[in-house]
Amino acid sequence: MTAPVGTARGGGPLPVPRTDARTAERLALSARTLQGRGLPTEEVADWLAARAAANRFRVDPIPFAALDGWSFAGATGNLVHRSGRFFSVEGVHVTIGDGPLQEWQQPIIVQPEVGILGILAKEFDGVLHFLMQAKMEPGNRNLLQLSPTVQATRSNYTKVHRGAGVKYLGHFLGEGRGRVLADVLQSEHGSWFLRKSNRNMIVETTEDVSAEDDFCWLTLGQIGALLRRDNVVNMDARTVLACAPVGTGGSEALLPDTGLVSWITEERSLHEVRARRIPLETVKEWRRSPDSIEHAEGRYFRVMAVAVQAESREVTRWTQPLLEPVGLGVTAFVTRSFGGVPHVLVHARREGGFLDRVELAPTVQHTPGNYRHLTGADRPPFLDLVADAPPGRVLYEAVHSEEGGRFRHAESRCLFVAADEAEAPAQPPAGYAWVTPGQLNSLVRHGHYVNVQARTLLACLNTAAAALTC
């Protein structure tokens, strides 16, 4: 398959990503290697438990009045930090023009700075290994999960919090870093962040790098095995792994590459998406109490606050707001084979927080409880197909946490679900298209084409945690 050709954000041609065949082979070998030089896979759970026991971790919900350094600004009611850094919770008015809900207002996280999500790679015994961190995030239900080597906002690594330095940061910044395997700006959750991006990086080193106490070397195959378990590999690690240059696949895609990029461009051109920042105190249908900001009908999410103790973090105590979704999400690709080639059904999804209006999302990306009141054509397409799929149709399933630094107990049931022509036709509804995993791998090397939920599922393919049957 040739790489996509289209239009870049600045108006010029979209660069053609060149796949280094040798790098793709090395990544494939790592994905097939289930035991490496580092920690054995069967010992990872005990190692995470030991790292949790070695440090004191505690997260307690608190009222907004108990936040230290955070307050509601007098003129706007926005929830802001006294430093003017980190992030703020503000209001946004979103208009998308069509559908059952054409405009709404909501709280949203505003965090304009770009953070670094970086995984360090090194070859041991001819196999690429990846340095993963046991990182505590206050929003994770189980607190400690495997994260990238470096997972830091700009405020963190420039020490706005006056804490300790970020370990291994030098491998990702400056001229002294190693060979870059992936480096791309990717979006965060477009429903909860306003135009937020992070730098996703994989850097290979030939230096002698020891794994410190909260770090371990794992192969892609080991990480894939762990991705079959609930809440082990965090969202930041998944989005970086999705960017691994594993190759572009064959040439038998149902939709040619130029046609795919043209379709995405058309979706972005045809649909108006406007997101206007407004004062938090003016957001309609949301109510603020001493300890939360909630939707009037109890849907979607709430904003709350926590006090955190984490001895292994750069700062060991702090307070902060968190966004807490209502209910378990469902993130799923419906999959079929055409001419013996596996395809997944992508959705050109519009979200108010996207930088470029539309990104490719999974077939289903919803919290079912938020749509329980809708019937018929107003219900999201394919939601019932995925939610009611019999076990024999489910090719992969695991519950994964979303970003634990900003969201509390945000979890999604992630699936690949096989379908037939009656359930998911070769000519899908408007806003949907069949693409190959190779096409997604090609697009993900450019920023803001594949959303964070789709990147979680792509990471499962890249690491062989999931396999699509022909």
pLDDT tens, 298-346? 999 999 999 999 988 878 899 999 999 999 999 999 999 999 999 999 9
Task: Using the structure block, give the residue that is written with the tokens 């309609």.
Answer: 284
Distance CA 206, CA 36 (A): 17
- This prediction has a pTM of 0.93
For 293, the enclosing helix (H) or strand (E) is strand 292-295
CB neighbour list of residue 151: distance below 8 Å, 6 or more residues apart: 115, 116, 117, 118, 133, 135, 236
Distance CA 426, CA 291 (A): 49
Per-residue pLDDT at 114: 93
Q: Per-residue b/e over 274-285, b at no fewer than 16 CB within 10 Å?
A: ebeebebbebee
φ, ψ at 116 (rounded to 5°): -115, 125
Taking the chain, what is the end-to-end CA distance rounded to the nearest angstrom?
A: 18
3-state secondary structure of 257: helix
Per-residue pLDDT at 8: 42
Per-residue pLDDT at 92: 98
Tokens of 121: 């790679």
Q: Which DSSP string do the residues of 7-44 spell out, in sequence order?
A: B-TTSSBPPPPPP-HHHHHHHHHHHH-SS-SSS-GGGH
Residues of the chain with pLDDT under 50: 1-16
CB atoms within 10 A of CB 261: 22
CA dihedral 432, 438, 441, 447 (to 10 degrees): -50
3-state secondary structure of 405: coil
- Tell me the torsion sign for CA atoms 87, 93, 97, 98: positive
Distance CA 105, CA 94 (A): 6
Per-residue pLDDT at 18: 55
Q: Which DSSP string do the residues of 380-400 spell out, in sequence order?
A: PTTHHHHHT--GGGEEEEEEE
Distance CA 93, CA 286 (A): 13
